[in-house]
Amino acid sequence: MGVLNVTPDSFSDGGLFLEPGTAVAQGRLLASEGADLIDVGGESTRPGADPVSVTDELERVVPVIEALAAEMRTPLSIDTSKAEVARAALSAGASFVNDVTALHGDAAMAGVVADAQVDVCLVHMKGEPRTMQDDPRYDDVVGEVRGFLEERLELAIGAGIAEQRVWLDPGIGFGKTLEHNLELIRRLDEIVAIGRPVVFGASRKRFLGRLTDRPEAERVAGTVAVNVLALERGATMFRVHDVAATRDALRVAGATLK
């Protein structure tokens, strides 16, 4: 899953692709590097990020999705927690909804996904972007994340979303300390055991900077390493900024797991 942030303030690439033409060109690049899905987002979910209005989010993402859908076969995802944005993005050509609130942020979101009969990713996040890194605490981070995802999966099914349409994401970096992230990675197989495909999104994140002492743009090697570990523990999809490097690493690692 290639990351395409159409925002001024995302943690790694904020402002780089805010102009629609530049965003479309980046989408083409992600596709050429081998992305199986391009995740377009118009609202930053970095720690401390402020919310964005529906109008602003629509203005950012819809033209980009329309342009990409008109010229490429690579499927498109909309990264949003707003039902109105999801509905417009799906009409514009997206076919996947990536909701960091796991259908909790907007009560209408489950109905939008169910009616459109598209895939959805349910992400674990403790709190909200503005507060999620304010001293997050767990008694057992893996057990609590697993329980949350199981509960949201049941809610999605109850709302009419087919179980085979649901993907799960443990939310690396979303309300977790370095130690929490590492424990989730060590025990990722417990999340995989829920029985739905797992999306793993650790690309360039702060905990990698803590471990390597490198800024966002220089965390490619760390991102590749942690994605290979996640592959070995059962993750299915990998949300990354650096598609080519990650894809090569996963192909090599995957060849040893057959």
Domains and CATH numbers, the chain: 2-257 (3.20.20.20)
Arithmetic mean of pLDDT, 21-39: 96
Encode pLDDT of 188-227 as tens digits.
999 999 999 999 999 999 999 999 999 998 999 999 999 9
Contact 7, 43 (CB under 8 A): yes
pLDDT of residue 204: 94
Asked whether residue 157 carries a pLDDT value surpassing 70, the answer given is yes
Confidence (pLDDT) at 106: 96
- Report field, pTM of the whole predicted structure over 0.85: yes
Q: Which of 45-49, 80-84, 142-146, 181-185 has the lowest mean pLDDT?
A: 45-49
Between helix 54-71 and helix 20-32 the angle, nearest 10°, is 50
**Which of 226-232's residues contact partners 24+ apart within 8 Å by CB, and which partners?**
226/185, 226/202, 227/200, 227/202, 228/253, 229/185, 229/188, 230/185, 230/188, 230/198, 230/200, 230/202, 231/257, 232/257
pLDDT at 231: 98
- The residues annotated as belonging to the active site are 205, 239
* pLDDT at 20 > cutoff 90: no
pLDDT of residue 105: 92
Confidence of residue 11 (pLDDT cuts 50, 70, 90): very low
Across the chain, what does the average pLDDT equal? Answer: 93
- Least confident range from 86-90, 173-177, 226-230, 241-245: namely 173-177
CA distances from 112 to 65, 119, 229 (A): 18, 11, 34
Q: Mean pLDDT: which of 23-37, 38-52, 118-132 is highest? A: 23-37
pLDDT computed for residue 22 by the predictor:
92
| pLDDT over 90 (residue 16) | no
Mean pLDDT across the stretch 172-183? 95
Strand partners, 86: none
